[in-house]
Structure 1
Amino acid sequence: MDVTEDAVRDICTDAVFERGERYREEGRIHGIHRIDTTVTAVVSGSRQYDVRVDLATNGFAPWCDCPYDGPGACKHVVAVLLRCVDDPPADEGDRLDATLDGADADQLRAFLRDELATNTDLRDRFLARVGEPTSQSVDEHRTAIDRRFEETNPEYPVVFEPINFTQWFDLASEYREQERDASAATVYRALVESLDDNMERVDGAYDHFSRAFSRALDGYVDCVMTAERDADAITDAVAFLDERATSGTPLLAEHFEKAAVELREKLGEQSDE
């Protein structure tokens, strides 16, 4: 995708574009790097924010760890993209490849193992990339997600700011790319359950949590349809959705009902085959 001002304007509001433009002009972008089409940077605001964009993806697949919850991309993402319009960072992919090619295999393995031993997010994505099915249950993933809600505002049972669920969505995407849809469904279901059970704690950034819930529920249904070929497995998924529609957050009941209908139609199609 061409990185132009018009393309950047398409992914944000006019107000955010102006703020991002001002951030770029004020020199708030630090440590910007590019590997192939992926650009990462640090942008200083009320604190330092990590930004990632993909220049080859429609819409640039923006990611930032700031609490912005408005429509479109945030000002930090916009600032980085505008920097890419004016002064694109050099691609360091060839240098990285050359370093990897020249690295000692034992040293590389030792380094990777040390990193995987201490970084659970990286370890999960690595195992997903090399074709390992998830060893974690829905409850185990859910415990980690629930902890995010508890850590966000430990003094009160209320969540005011967005929570970053990227590590779980990235993990599910990694499983899907490896065609391990059952493992991806496990991650998505954990997100669905946690978001459903914690939604009544949310008192701010509601759109953020609603979008995360819809994305997780859609991912779960898609993976169940793709991964589960036997009628009993789909029936179990429908039972889960029906139960959540009656016992979960009332505002989300309609979403669960629609998802259950979609899976029932899939079940009917299989019965006709």
Structure 2
Amino acid sequence: MDLTEGAVREICTDAVFERGERYLAEDRILDIHRIDTTVTAVVSGSRQYDVRVDLAVNGFDPWCDCPYTGPEACKHVVAVLLRCADDCPPDEGDRLDAALEAADADDLRGFLRDTLATDAAVRERFFARFGESPTRSVEDLRAAIDREFEETNPDYFVVFEPIDFSEWFDLAGEYRDQGRYASAAAVYRALVESLDENMERVDGAYDHFSQRFTRALDGYVDCVAAGDPDAEEAADAVAFLEDRTTSGTPLLSEHFERAATELEDTLAERRDR
């Protein structure tokens, strides 16, 4: 866990770094916890913001639900990382493990079932890992993601603040971990389609949405290729990307063109082996 002030400076601008230092000095971190290398915190600004970082990942994989639209990490993330560099919160992983070991199996099962019954995102990840749930269609996934745009600012067409898509990226990651690449590709494609179609609504937090779009597009290409598609499936995937170069948001056209070329080249290399 190589967390230094210099490492934090590398993921933010000088101005943001100074604001993060000030937030730390002003005791704006209201709550902070660590499980293994993942740190979650609540930071007080114009409202309370949730922050998550991974101390073991290059760049710390920062996430914050603030409306920051500048480059790289925001001041809330910087404040949390500086706090960790100076006085990292104790790892509660052993405590969690001990509680799991001591829990009665029936009580634990009941708790898990109650949680799964009320939390759709956790339930979907549970099915992805332990169940034999069928792959949800791109259309169904897309509709659920589109609702997040509708619900973020229901009184206006324009979306001013970031949307947390971690539920969907976590689900795709779960499918990838299980080797269910077609299911993961469906989630990534739904994200790509929704972000592409809704990008014209975004007025602020552009970096947030463009970064999520790029991550979803790269995930889609990787998972289609990893799934070893047959000729028809491969052609459909490439055609989807090529079609979006002209029918999608103009500012994303080059990204779709790059992805289509990359996927074609990767599939061709595999066929030639």
Give the 3 Å change call, closer, same or farther, for CA 187–82 of structure 1 in structure 2: same
Q: Retained in 2: the 8 A contact 1:133–1:180? A: no
Partner of 2:90 in structure 1? 90
Q: CA deviation at 1:152?
A: 2.2
Give the 3 Å change call, closer, same or farther, for CA 134–82 of structure 1 in structure 2: farther
2: CA distance between counterparts of 1:93 and 1:140?
36
Q: Retained in 2: the 8 A contact 1:181–1:226? A: yes
Range moving further from structure 2, 92-101 or 162-171: 162-171
| Structure 1 vs Structure 2 CA RMSD | 1.8
Give the 3 Å change call, closer, same or farther, for CA 31–161 of structure 1 in structure 2: closer
Partner of 2:256 in structure 1? 256
**Secondary structure at 1:34's aligned position in 2?**
strand
**1:13 lines up with 2:13 in the alignment:** yes
Q: Retained in 2: the 8 A contact 1:49–1:65? A: yes
Give the 3 Å change call, closer, same or farther, for CA 128–21 of structure 1 in structure 2: same
Q: CA deviation at 1:144?
A: 1.3
Identical positions, percent: 73
Q: Retained in 2: the 8 A contact 1:159–1:203? A: yes
Q: CA deviation at 1:55?
A: 1.7
Q: Retained in 1: the 8 A contact 2:65–2:162? A: no
Partner of 1:159 in structure 2? 159
1:124-166 Cα distance to aligned partner (Å, 9 max, x none): 2222233645542111111111111112222222222222212
Give the 3 Å change call, closer, same or farther, for CA 133–224 of structure 1 in structure 2: farther
Q: Retained in 1: the 8 A contact 2:64–2:77? A: yes
Q: What amino acid maps onto 2:240 in structure 1?
A: F
2: CA distance between counterparts of 1:9 and 1:271?
44
Q: CA deviation at 1:230?
A: 1.4
Where structure 2 has 5 or more consecutive residues not aligned to the other structure, the ranges are none
**TM-score, structure 2 as length reference:** 0.93
Q: What amino acid maps onto 1:28 in structure 2?
A: R
1:27-57 Cα distance to aligned partner (Å, 9 max, x none): 1112211112221111111111111112222
Partner of 2:199 in structure 1? 199
1:5-44 Cα distance to aligned partner (Å, 9 max, x none): 1111111111111111111111111221111222111111
Partner of 1:2 in structure 2? 2
**1:182 lines up with 2:182 in the alignment:** yes
Give the 3 Å change call, closer, same or farther, for CA 248–181 of structure 1 in structure 2: same
Q: CA deviation at 1:99?
A: 0.9
2: CA distance between counterparts of 1:56 and 1:78?
16
Partner of 2:58 in structure 1? 58
Partner of 2:116 in structure 1? 116
Runs of at least 4 residues of structure 1 off by over 4 A?
Answer: 131-134
Q: CA deviation at 1:245?
A: 2.1
Q: Retained in 2: the 8 A contact 1:137–1:186? A: yes
2: CA distance between counterparts of 1:56 and 1:243?
38
Partner of 2:208 in structure 1? 208
**Secondary structure at 1:162's aligned position in 2?**
coil
1: CA distance between counterparts of 2:111 and 2:195?
36
Q: CA deviation at 1:223?
A: 0.6
Where structure 1 has 5 or more consecutive residues not aligned to the other structure, the ranges are none
Partner of 1:269 in structure 2? 269
Partner of 2:34 in structure 1? 34
2: CA distance between counterparts of 1:142 and 1:171?
14
Range moving further from structure 2, 79-88 or 152-161: 152-161
Q: What number of residue pairs does the alignment pair up?
A: 273
**Secondary structure at 2:266's aligned position in 1?**
helix
Q: What amino acid maps onto 2:155 in structure 1?
A: E
2: CA distance between counterparts of 1:147 and 1:115?
23
